[in-house]
């Protein structure tokens, strides 16, 4: 989780080590042999696996890529603080957007950011429609649970817009964070579904 800064990254690598999971940064997976349970990397290295959870390259949907809102990489470019696009009074939030952090990596596509961005846009729209009030700004703060298995989770929270790297704190993993994660999920399901 390099995008969360060095403290969180170190904690995640520690979680992996405690579960005997190898961490192999800086390699691109080129092929997976599901039958032989082998991974092949662009460096020529190979590794065996018990369970492979592979995430394909993340790209914007075609409709977004073809839109005049899209930037060179296909994602919608918006102001990191206001969420307004280059078109006046047109806003974009969440997973179809791109925000480059001061460290050069993109803001993660995470629900806590989309939720905060939605509140900023909603309040800004109300202020503009009424012709009074203060427009809101998204400050880059976000949080997430880090599931580590065995009924234990960690929790990270902080400012992803901080310079030169995000200032994110990883709280000590424990059963209480796992219980908090389950309560958070139940609340969202109950509220929205």
Confidence at residue 95, expressed as pLDDT on a 0 to 100 scale: 92
Q: 3-state DSSP: the chain helix, strand, coil percent, rounded to 5?
A: 30, 25, 45
pTM for this model (two decimals): 0.83
**180 contact partners, CB below 8 Å, separation of at least 6:** 145, 153, 155
Confidence at residue 87, expressed as pLDDT on a 0 to 100 scale: 96
Report d(CA 186, CA 180) in Å as an integer.
10
Token output for 84: 């307004």
Provide CATH code, domain 58-138.
3.50.50.60
Q: In the chain, where are the structural domains located?
A: 58-138
Confidence at residue 22, expressed as pLDDT on a 0 to 100 scale: 83
Report d(CA 176, CA 10) in Å as an integer.
21
Which tens digits make up the pLDDT trace of 144-163?
998 888 999 999 999 999 99
Residue 65 has pLDDT above 90, yes or no: yes
The band of 53, judged by pLDDT with boundaries at 50, 70 and 90, is: confident
Confidence at residue 175, expressed as pLDDT on a 0 to 100 scale: 97
Which tens digits make up the pLDDT trace of 113-143?
999 999 999 999 999 999 988 889 999 999 9
Residue 36 has pLDDT above 90, yes or no: yes
Average pLDDT over residues 41-50: 93
Contact at 8 Å (CB) between 140 and 162?
Answer: yes
Confidence at residue 138, expressed as pLDDT on a 0 to 100 scale: 97
Confidence at residue 3, expressed as pLDDT on a 0 to 100 scale: 85
Confidence at residue 37, expressed as pLDDT on a 0 to 100 scale: 96
Residue 1 has pLDDT above 80, yes or no: no
């Amino acid at each position: 989780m390099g995008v969360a800064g060095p403290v969180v990254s170190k904690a995640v690598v520690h979680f992996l080590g405690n579960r005997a999971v190898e961490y192999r940064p800086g390699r691109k997976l080129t092929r997976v042999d599901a039958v032989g349970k082998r991974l092949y990397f662009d460096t020529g290295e190979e590794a065996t696996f018990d369970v492979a959870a592979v995430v394909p390259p993340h790209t914007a949907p075609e409709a977004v890529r073809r839109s005049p809102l899209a930037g060179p990489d296909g994602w919608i470019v918006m102001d990191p603080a206001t969420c307004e696009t280059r078109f006046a009074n047109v806003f974009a939030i969440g997973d179809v957007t791109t925000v480059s952090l001061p460290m050069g990596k993109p803001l993660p596509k995470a629900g806590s950011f989309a939720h905060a961005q939605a509140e900023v846009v909603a309040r800004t729209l109300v202020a503009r429609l009424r012709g009074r009030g203060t427009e809101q700004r998204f400050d880059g703060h976000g949080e997430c649970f880090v599931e580590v298995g065995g009924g234990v989770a960690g929790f990270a929270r902080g400012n992803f817009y901080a310079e030169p790297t995000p200032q994110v704190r990883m709280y000590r993993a424990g059963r209480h964070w796992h219980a908090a994660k389950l309560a958070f999920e139940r609340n969202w399901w109950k509220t929205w579904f």
